[in-house]
């Protein structure tokens, strides 16, 4: 390995160890390696600029803004109310309602952090009132929030598609059943946990099962009609091929604006301005990581790091089964330290060419990648979803870490099943 290649890796690790932001660590490493390699730094800037010239990336700010407008405009609250009216009579109903509401909201926002914050604010007080232990109620918000990127639209699907050249539409199509399966796995895990009376996750004596009549359900359904229509429009537009994911994201913004202003009448210009600023900040964070990762990937290519890794893997691993095991292990370790967007833009370009040489379908590889990324948001020390849930519920992160492991194990089990039993129609 050349001096420039070693400097690229070492500089990145040193800056990360010193606590520098991820995008600065990989950008400084790229620039340092370019100087040693004798590459004009302006070429790196050109590469970063070219990476942003993507129609698919326009979906990111639109999805951020649509999600925020739908929360502020009352759509998210009505979805939760509808879920309560339909599922409120079941045992441990709020655990089911929480995950179903997160899945619904995920079909609007495309962001796990936005889902954790938005649904957490609505559901956490309800769960405390209904007898759920604080730490357990808080960790459900973090776990449910991860469904935000598994139910289309998904910001990580967009990033994966742009980073690997895979169809974003295909990714959104095949990530949907994985999102549904993950929702069911988490619901089952939560139901098993609340049966353990020794742990004290749930005090059944405080459970309030309200008998809801068909009239009450009809009223909730009628009130949430426009809220239900929003994911139908988004997903219907994408799956029917009428519009691209980016165009659907723009339509979602307009829809949220119209419904919030003229139907539910809960939006005003002050809230709209705040939503615009929030989407700008969210997009800026993703763009900084994506641009710096583009520079890093370019320097890895110039230094032939990816080719060297591919050659080593191909010479030592003759079995696709072993390769898949290595992929999941690498993603699991990466998820403990960096967020999903970094994993997809820095690590995936290393593994993707090797996966293609094994004949793995790029969409299958993408589904496994994204599922690993959302599990990574629940694993310490990084655990982004845990920190968001902690800030929303004011429950210490250490408490959440102790409660989250059953869900992490359930997620890993599902991930391995999807890894080794792929969708037959993908091949």
For 316-332, how does the pLDDT look when each residue is reduced to its tens digit (9 = 90+)? 777 888 899 999 998 98
Q: Summarize the confidence of residues 375-392 as an average pLDDT.
A: 84
**pLDDT at res. 208:** 58
Better pLDDT: 31 or 211: 31
For 169-224, how does the pLDDT look when each residue is reduced to its tens digit (9 = 90+)? 888 888 888 999 999 999 999 989 888 777 777 766 655 555 566 777 787 788 77
The mean pLDDT of the chain is: 82
Domains of the chain: total = 1
Residue 16 confidence (pLDDT) above 90: no
**pLDDT at res. 407:** 95
Task: Name the percent of the chain lying above pLDDT 90.
Answer: 13
Residue 372 confidence (pLDDT) above 70: yes
The residue range of the domain holding 212 is 3-426
Q: What is the 3-state secondary structure (H, E, C) of the chain?
A: CCHHHHHHHHHHHHHHHCCCCHHHHHHHHHHHHHHHHCCCHHHHHHHHHHHHCCCHHHHHHHHHHHHHHHHHCCHHHHHHHHHHHHHCCCCCHHHHHHHHHHHHHHHHHCCHHHHHHHHHHHHHHHHHHCCECHHHHHHHHHHHHHHHHCCCCCHHHHHHHHHHCCCHHHHHHHHHHHHHHHHHHHHHHHHHHHCCCCCCCECHHHCCCCCCCHHHHHHHHHHCHHHHHHHHHHHHHHHHCCCCHHHHHHHHHHHHHHHHHHHCCCCCHHHHHHHHHHHHHHHHHHHHHHHHHHHHHHHHHHCCHHHHHHHHHHHHCCCHHHHHHHHHHHHHHHHCCCCHHHHHHHHHHHHHHHHHHCCCCHHHHHHHHHHHHHHHCCCCCCCHHHHHHHHHHCCCHHHHHHHHHHHHHHHHHHHHHHHHCCCHHHC
Residue 282 confidence (pLDDT) above 60: yes
């Amino acid at each position: 390995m050349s001096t420039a290649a070693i400097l690229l890796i070492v500089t990145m690790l040193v800056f990360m160890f010193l606590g520098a932001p991820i995008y600065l660590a990989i950008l400084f490493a790229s620039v340092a390696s370019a100087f040693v390699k004798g590459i004009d730094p302006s070429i790196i800037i050109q590469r970063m600029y070219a990476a942003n010239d993507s129609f698919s990336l326009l979906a990111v700010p639109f999805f951020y803004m649509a999600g925020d407008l739908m929360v502020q405009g009352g759509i998210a609250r009505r979805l939760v109310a509808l879920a309560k009216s339909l599922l409120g009579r079941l045992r441990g109903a709020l655990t089911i309602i929480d995950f179903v509401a997160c899945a619904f909201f995920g079909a609007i926002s495309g962001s796990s952090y936005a889902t954790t914050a938005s649904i957490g604010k609505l559901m956490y007080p309800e769960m405390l009132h209904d007898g759920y232990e604080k730490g357990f109620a808080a960790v459900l918000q973090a776990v449910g929030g991860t469904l935000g990127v598994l139910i289309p639209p998904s910001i990580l699907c967009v990033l994966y598609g742009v980073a690997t050249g895979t169809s974003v539409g295909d990714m959104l199509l095949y990530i949907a059943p994985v999102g549904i399966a993950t929702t069911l796995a988490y619901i089952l895990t939560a139901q098993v946990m609340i049966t353990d009376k020794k742990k004290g996750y749930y005090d059944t004596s405080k459970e309030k099962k309200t008998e809801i009549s068909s009239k009450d359900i009809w009223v909730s359904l009628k009130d949430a009609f426009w809220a239900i229509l929003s994911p139908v429009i988004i997903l219907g537009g994408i799956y029917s091929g009428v519009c691209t994911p980016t165009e659907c994201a723009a339509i979602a913004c307009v829809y949220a604006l119209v419904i919030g202003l003229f139907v539910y009448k809960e939006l005003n210009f002050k809230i709209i301005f705040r939503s615009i600023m929030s989407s700008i900040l969210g997009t800026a964070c993703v763009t900084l990581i994506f641009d710096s990762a583009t520079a890093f990937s370019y320097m890895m290519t110039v230094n032939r790091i990816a080719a060297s890794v591919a050659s080593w893997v191909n010479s030592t691993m003759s079995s696709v089964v072993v390769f898949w095991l290595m992929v999941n292990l690498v993603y699991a370790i990466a998820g403990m330290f960096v967020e999903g967007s970094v994993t997809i833009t820095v690590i995936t370009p290393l593994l993707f060419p090797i996966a293609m040489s094994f004949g793995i379908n790029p969409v299958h590889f993408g589904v496994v990648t994204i599922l690993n990324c959302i599990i990574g948001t629940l694993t310490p020390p990084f655990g982004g979803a845990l920190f968001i849930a902690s800030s929303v519920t004011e429950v210490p992160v250490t408490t959440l870490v102790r409660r989250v492991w059953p869900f992490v194990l359930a997620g890993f089990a599902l991930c391995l099943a999807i890894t080794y039993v792929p969708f037959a129609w993908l091949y």
